[in-house]
Structure 1
Amino acid sequence: MSGTQAGMTAAQVRAWLIDRVAFLLELRAQDIDPDAELAELGLDSVYAVMLGGEIEEEFGLVVEPTVAWDNPTITVLAGHLAAELGVR
């Protein structure tokens, strides 16, 4: 985890994911429902792989290319990442 993420909370992980998904899908962050299926929001396999790469870069984690499909909502994915990072 990079120095900027050292004090990050689970809520901040979730907020980061909302921002990144909004950016990738060219939507406003406030229009993203964190409990909606990522596929329903428009996240396709190309964007899912890109998101996985951004997660690895931002948090210093190694994630499977299927991380967005294995954790199909932002809320679920944020919980998974928070657990991996050991944050609450």
Structure 2
Amino acid sequence: MLRRFFKRSKTANDKTTSSGTRDASEIQSWILINIGKELGVPGESLDPTDSFTSYGLDSIAGFTLTLDLAEWLDRELPASLFWEYPTVAELAQHLAKEG
């Protein structure tokens, strides 16, 4: 399986917990807001337990969201991330645990 990794440097405006990681609710909110932007709907209107495929995201959108999420989290993420965890809630929990 082909995987690509992305990383960026941390900026002063990045908000993280005292341990330098983000909790699941922050991650979930970020993902929903950014999926909403991609779809042209408010992120708050999306259900975090719906599958990514139910949002109609294609592989390019998933790849772009993964790149942006890796930047926001300041860590490497596999390009296939959105397909490995089928819902926003599951993905957010996974990323928070990985911290």
Bin the TM-score by the shorter chain.
Answer: 0.7 to 0.9
1:5 aligns with 2:15: yes
Matches of 1:56 and 1:30, distance apart in 2: 22
Question: Counterpart in 1 of 2:93?
Answer: 79
Who wins on radius of gyration, i.e. which is larger?
2
Structure 1 residue runs without a partner (length 5+): none
Superposition map of 1:60-75 within 5 A = 60-75=74-89
Runs of 4+ in 1 over 3 A off after TM superposition: none
Contact kept, 8 Å, 1:38 with 1:74, in 2: the verdict is yes
Matches of 2:48 and 2:66, distance apart in 1: 17
Superposition map of 1:2-81 within 5 A = 2=10, 4-7=14-17, 8-81=22-95
TM-score scaled by structure 1? 0.86
TM-score scaled by structure 2? 0.77
CA shift digits 1:61-83 (9 cap, x unpaired): 21111100001110011011111
CA separation of 1:30 and 1:6: change in aligned 2, threshold 3 A:
closer
* Structure 1 residue 5, shift from structure 2 partner: 3.4
- % same residue: 24
* Structure 1 residue 11, shift from structure 2 partner: 1.0
Matches of 2:95 and 2:87, distance apart in 1: 12
Q: Larger helix proportion, structure 1 or 2?
A: 1
Structure 2 residue runs without a partner (length 5+): 1-8
Aligned residues between the structures: 85
